[in-house]
Amino acid sequence: MSYKTIVGLEIHVELSTKTKAFCSCENTFGGEPNSRVCPVCLALPGATPVLNEQVVKYTVMSGLALNCTINHNSKFDRKNYFYPDLTKGFQITQNYMPLCTEGYLEIDGDEGLKKVGIFQIQMEEDTGKSLHSDDETLLDYNRCGVPLIEIVSKPDMNSGREGREFLEKLKNTLKYIGVSDVKMEEGSLRCDVNVNIKDEETGKKTAITEVKNLNSFRAVEKAIDYEVQRHIKILESGEDEPKTTRRWDDVNNETVLMRVKYTAADYRFAPEGDLVSVVIDDEYIEQVRKELPELPEAKKERFMNEYGLSEYDAKILTSTKQLSNYFDDVAKNFNDYNMVSNWIMTEVLRRVDDLENGFSLPFEEEDFIELLTLIKSGKINNNAGKKVLREMFETSKKPMEIIEEKGLIQVSDDSQIEIWVDEVLGENPQSIEDIKNGKDRAFGFLVGQVMKKSKGKANPGVVNEILKSRVQ
């Protein structure tokens, strides 16, 4: 039998505004419980919300970056449900007239480049946080009213890998434009997965399952793959299951039933009477568009065209905004672009602990350019350059200072290298015989012995030339 996997995602992203969505409380992660609250976000009687203009701008930025239509008129609604961390007994959101609709994001799908549709992006507020222990539940309302955008994808993904790919690309895009820090570990990016499957022979579909409590992209992929297998078993058994909400158990790598899934009717959506409509014009939209930075996909294409980089190298170097800016800045002052790419991707990135949270180095950009110039000009060789870079990371010293301290200047003088070559040949007559008998590895051995005798200072190119003239 042939089954088609159908995956849609609902992603909540906390916006990095200075204040909350509808009041002037500080919008920052953490803090003493219930220290960043006011009558508005606590829903005290008589307190009314006022929309933060920056929330609108960041939502428009997100919509433009994700190829959405920006609607000139949008409205807020009340999503009614009871939960202790929801102070008002309803959440302010946009169900019927969201700000952004009909977008898409291109991903590397299972069968090539794929457009995943975005149904809508809506502005809304976050709830508080429940802290559970064995005998009590404590409530921290600092998060109440924090501005969110909810990004609802179309069910265009067909595997766990595609779901993960979509999330990674979405996260990178939102971080590039600066609307959110998208830190999953702090809850500023949260994802719910909707999964079902279709029997392509009979056309029968399983009911959609929503999976919550996903705390990593890897968990998203694993949860989708787990649910696919569970849904196949449901179809093959001939049973029916209603729409359900399940949570991901990261310890046992399985989903666990929470409840039968709510429907729109359960939430009793109603217009939000305390907030006016959001009306924006084309001039405002175009002004926001002009302020958008170069997006990751466009930057990747530019790196390939302008610098001649491979698609793989360009993808790595544009994986974060800071890293791509660093490469751009270095490349402006050092025109061997492949050399810059190779050194950043191999020697630099393996010493950077946390690329996700920024790209900062313990030395100046000019110092890195100077090191590359010294290597390219032959003043030091590659191995010496690696030693110098390691020392730069450890001590923040200048390249020439390290080179002089450690005596790493490369020797290109023929007369000195000839002395080392002659000494090595005198010590290894068998290797000369091996070379004459066609054993090429012996030549590499002799090169290594000369480099060892010179303590790594000999110019390898000159060593190769002199050795060839001696043994051929």
Q: What are the structural domain ranges in the chain?
A: 3-279, 293-406, 414-471
| Pairing status of strand 244-249 against strand 209-214 | parallel
Residue count of the chain: 472
- Residue 340 corresponds to which tokens in the numbers above? 């810059």
Residue 275 one-letter amino acid: L
118: tokens are: 């975005």
Contact 272, 76 (CB under 8 A): yes
Sign of CA dihedral 277, 100, 169, 321: negative
d(CA 297, CA 311): 11
Chain centroid to CA 155: 22
Q: How does pLDDT run along the chain (472 residues), one tens digit per residue?
A: 689 999 999 999 999 999 999 999 999 988 899 999 999 999 999 999 999 999 999 999 999 999 999 999 999 999 998 888 899 999 999 999 999 999 999 999 999 999 999 999 999 999 999 888 888 999 999 999 999 999 999 999 999 999 999 999 999 999 999 999 998 888 899 999 999 999 988 889 999 999 987 989 999 999 999 999 999 999 988 888 899 999 999 899 999 998 887 666 678 999 999 999 999 999 999 999 999 999 999 999 999 999 999 999 999 999 889 999 999 999 999 999 999 999 999 999 988 876 666 678 999 999 999 999 999 988 888 888 999 999 999 999 999 999 988 887 776 667 777 888 878 888 888 887 777 777 778 888 888 888 887 777 777 778 788 888 877 6
Which of 173-177's residues contact partners 24+ apart within 8 Å by CB, and which partners? 173/65, 173/66, 173/105, 173/295, 173/296, 174/13, 174/62, 174/65, 175/320, 175/321, 176/65, 176/293, 176/295, 176/296, 176/321, 177/61, 177/62, 177/65, 177/292, 177/293, 177/295
C-alpha span between 234 and 216 (Å, rounded): 27
Q: Which residues contact 466 (CB under 8 A, 6 or more apart)?
A: 414, 417, 418, 421
Which pLDDT does position 206 carry in this prediction? 93
The pLDDT score that the predictor gives to residue 49 is 96
CA angle at 321 for the pair 316 and 323, rounded to the nearest 5°: 55
Tokens 């025109």, residue located: 335
Question: What pLDDT is attached to residue 155?
Answer: 96
Q: Encoding tokens for residue 55?
A: 């929330």
Helix, strand or coil for residue 110? coil
Separation of alpha carbons 259 and 231, rounded Å: 17
**H/E segment holding residue 453:** helix 441-453
Neighbours of 243 (CB within 10 A): 15
Residues 152, 106: Cα–Cα separation, whole Å? 15
- Which one-letter amino acid corresponds to residue 151? I
With 0-12 / 13-18 / 19 or more C-beta atoms within 10 angstroms meaning exposed / middle / buried, residue 83 is: exposed
CA distances from 50 to 19, 40, 44, 255, 273 (A): 12, 9, 15, 40, 12
Check the CA dihedral 395-396-399-401 and report its sign.
negative
CATH of domain 414-471: 1.10.10.410
Full-model pTM: 0.85
> Is residue 4 within 8 Å of residue 157, measured between CB atoms?
no
Residue type, 109: G
Query: What CA–CA distance (Å, rounded) separates 212 from 2?
Result: 27
Residue 250, both tokens:
């990261």
pLDDT value for 469? 81
Query: CB of 22 within 8 A of CB of 52?
Result: yes
